[in-house]
Structure 1
Amino acid sequence: MIYNLLRPLLFSLDPELVHLCSLKVLSQPFFGYLSRALFSPLMEVKGLEKELWGIHFSNPIGLAAGFDKNGIGLQAWESLGFGFVEIGTVTPLPQTGNPKPRLTRLPQSEALWNSLGFPSEGAEKVSQRLRKFLMTKGKPRIAIGINIGKNRLTPLEEAAEDYKKCFSYFKDLADFFVVNVSSPNTVGLRSLQEKKRLELILEALNSINMVPKSPILVKIAPDIELRTIADILSVLIEKEAGGVVVANTMLAKGPWGHMGGISGRPLSKISTELIRFVKKKVLGVFQSLE
């Protein structure tokens, strides 16, 4: 009901402005108290708990990367009933992302199109914010993931070092990590899904992922060939990755003529079919090893 009342107002404003204002509201202390009062029943639903990688998830519904890129709304996500949150994408160095306009609604398709390009305050500042939050508020009941990426100006040949550097800032702060090699909004980034390049990234991360090891997942694109996905899965299994995230936004031309990514309802069928493919492929590999 609250959303139905606010929706016309929110949709009359620039979507990126609404995004930033929402985060500002979520970061205010009063919101934590208000949301706990309104949404506490969401946190009390039984039977949805999961134990994965030794991490407790109160429920399987999480906030994916992209909304809270800099960890600004950390105090809100548990109160709103999420089982986990994925902060990011965080880049090693601060960067502003792509030029505006870079975000638009597609109401008829129930979708969003964006070409944000990893706007990030940088790993140092975001990790300091997270560390301060954990020291003052304590460890939240929800799992915290960090989605990491490379800086726009970093050559593809040096990408592994960017992921390694970003990972090092959060090693003792996050519950799990997601390697973003599939965003369509950073030139060349999706080529990091190629087998050899992905191997280099995971090897670099494994070299500093000491005991206790953090789960490292890889986020894949929804619109690449199944053969390429099969190669990615073989690399993840070989390098003992924690899992795969299905999926990023789908490559599409936006209203201003440049390429970006679509999220929302258009991805529903594609991502569901992709999840089935990944599950079948991975189960087949492990069954063949028995």
Structure 2
Amino acid sequence: MLARRLPTVLPPLSYDEALEVTAIHSVAGLLPSDRGLSQARPFRAPHHTVSPAGLVGGGEPIRPGEVSLAHHGCLFLDELLEFKRSALEVLRQPLEDGLVTICRAQSRVTFPARPLVIAAVNPCPCGFFGDEKRRCACSSERVRAYRARLSGPLLDRLDLQVPLPPVDVSHLGGKERGEASGEVRRRVITARAIQAARREAGETSVLSNADLGPRDVERVAAPDAAGRTILGQAVERLGLSARAYGKVLRVARTIADLDGGTSVRASHVAEAIQARLLDRDGVAAVGR
């Protein structure tokens, strides 16, 4: 339910984004004949039995897969570790390049693929590893084998990794409400406007922090001295890869934008590192 709320906090589609979303869904035969330009960001949630071709595309004639159908929207992978390893691994290149290229004997087709990927996974097969109230029934070997299904290279491509503890039953019927989606969306739109202003000023070559190249990261996401120290310690202690290092800086830049700051401070870097849960727990080393 939480994942399905994510499109409601994202900015509206721009005209160019709407054109791309509409074109992809039209090619896939998913656009009703009476519908014009797509106005809503797509949300796709394929079942964990989906094939590699179902995720990235294929067939004859070639059709886009889930990662392209979720372009400019959200791709939700529930029970991530229940997906076939072969299916998960084909996502690596699209997540890196934002494109899917499918080759056949007589044709070659490229589809855009820049979704916001959300994955949900249990901490172990029984689901109670680390639970304070329920005892985990899994052996350490079983937990390790379960987590090894997620390869290090794919894990590296997940910018945020955060725990979601079980909600206490006493809170389910409570009247207290969290921040409304509309409020969150306004903050996100403000942060995106800051990023757009940097591009207009020639400071970056892309619109979103997630797409910043190495030179752009150096130019607009370099942290202050204290932030560099914290990041250096994290790299040494957690064994962060070069890709993970860059992702921490991009996330820190985004946190600074949401905070209204012009520079990336130590607090922003620390928060970004805290969002690398699986690296901090040592899971990244499993399966590499």
> Is TM (by shorter chain) over 0.5?
no
Whichever structure has more strand as a proportion of its residues is 1
Q: TM-score, normalised by structure 1?
A: 0.28
- TM-score, normalised on structure 2? 0.28
Greater radius of gyration (CA): 2
